[in-house]
Amino acid sequence: MKRILVFTLSIALLASFTLFMAAKAQDKKNPDVQADETEDVKPDRDIIPHRYNKKGADAVTKGTTGVITPQISYHGGALIGTPTIYYIWYGNWNQTNGSDNPAGQQILRDFARTIGGSAYYNINTTYSTGGYNINGAVNFGGEATDTGSQGTRLRDSSIGAIIVTTLNQGKLPYDPNGVYFVLSSSNVSESSGFCTLYCGWHTAGTINSGTYAGQRLRYSFVGNANRCLNACAAQSVSPNGNAGVDGMVSIIAHELEEAATDPDPRTGWADSNGDENADKCAWTFGQTLFTLPSGAIYNMTLGSGTTLQRNYLIQRNLKYSAAGSTCNVSLTAQ
């Protein structure tokens, strides 16, 4: 009897310790937003960060072709069948550093115009469920500029403020299917951990005040990887000749597909660790890689015609299958 009691107590202690450690790990992985009542957008919960590249630049990893566990599952919430991308250029995108410049902006614009319907984005069609049809289409809804309304040291709450200000000024429309990306120039920091803990994040919340008070907002922060190529880019020589911005493409793709399949974090598709689809394949690029004369590696070409067609190196996404999900670059290739 005594032995059973001791045994039971040990189990209870072990269980509470495990729970404590799990809570700690979660905190570290998902730095909490500094939520307060004065925020322009009140996020539902934590941001979902895109962890940085632990391998450093110039270590393009193919990744496994095996089944990825734990399995991802649907939690009953909303999905965005056809997301519309909106960009807000934040900071100074007219620099002479070879990265924060109009040519760099054009790379991201072309990407936004060609990701929809691509073999890569079609991976997300495997997440259609609950009356939501993710058909592979993506719209580009437009762009606005904010040269620095929140300064050069951003907090998580600054990102919501930038977007709400832009909407209130009528510089972009409010769109319930929109995913609003704040794209910061490389002189701007994000104090919750850009470049040290993550390369971007997405979340959702309800707008607190102003013209769109009460409306839902799905949004993302992605900083120019030129600030920390070794943490937020997979290579320092890139397909479009701008390593920082080419690094951003892969992060934006990742956040976009997570915002579509899990727009209100962890109520759509996520696994038991809270990882979303693209998290499970982060920083892996597939079995078929091409090398340009410059030495830059790419794994896909998006768009067609002389103005829109570009090569990109974009990390893989999880293709859902009830029999076992895998990391893919398209529905048929890994």
- Assigned token pair, 162: 């930038």
CB 199 within 8 A of CB 50: yes
Q: How far is the CB of 185 from Zn ion (least distance, A)?
A: 22
Pick 46 or 279: Cβ nearer Zn ion:
279
Locus of tokens 């993302």: 220
Minimum Å gap between C-beta 257 and Zn ion is 9
Min. distance of Cβ 14 from Zn ion in angstroms? 31
State in angstroms the smallest separation of the CB of 120 from Zn ion: 16
Q: Which residues bind Zn ion (CB under 5 A)?
A: 50, 258, 279
By C-beta, is 47 or 313 nearer to Zn ion?
Answer: 47
CB 100 within 8 A of CB 92: yes
Specify the residue for token string 């919430």. 77
Minimum CB–partner distance for residue 48 and Zn ion (Å): 5
Which among 92, 105, 88 is positioned nearest to 145, based on CA atoms? Answer: 88
**Helices 102-114, 243-261: inter-axial angle, 10-degree rounding:** 30
Of 50 and 310, which CB lies nearer to Zn ion in the complex structure? 50
User: What's the min distance (Å) between Cβ of 254 and Zn ion?
Assistant: 5
Select 167 or 259, whichever has its Cβ closest to Zn ion: 259
The tokens for 233 are: 């880019």
| Cβ proximity to Zn ion, 46 vs 258, nearer residue | 258
Cβ proximity to Zn ion: between 30 and 226 the closer is: 30
Strands (DSSP E) along the chain, which ranges?
41-43, 48-51, 73-74, 84-90, 139-146, 153-154, 178-184, 189-190, 198-207, 216-223, 269-270, 290-291, 297-298, 300-302, 310-312, 317-319, 326-328
Q: In Å, how far are 35, 170, 195, 218 from 181, measured between CA atoms? A: 20, 16, 17, 9
Identify which of residues 115 and 167 has a Cβ nearer to Zn ion in the complex.
115
99/250 with CB nearer Zn ion? 250
Cα–Cα separations (whole angstroms), residue 108 to 4, 56, 240: 63, 22, 11
Shortest distance in whole angstroms from residue 234 CB to Zn ion: 15
Residue nearest to Zn ion (CB): 279
C-alpha 282/C-alpha 46 separation (Å) is 19
Nearest approach in angstroms of CB 46 to Zn ion is 12
- CB under 8 Å to 247, separation ≥6 — which residues? 199, 225, 226, 229, 232, 233, 234, 238
Determine the Cα–Cα distance for residues 280 and 327; give it in Å rounded to an integer: 8
Q: Provide, rounded to whole angstroms, the least separation between the CB of residue 197 and Zn ion.
A: 12
In the bound state with Zn ion, the residue whose beta carbon lies nearer, of 56 and 274, is: 274
Contact call for residues 181 and 214 (beta carbons, < 8 A) = no
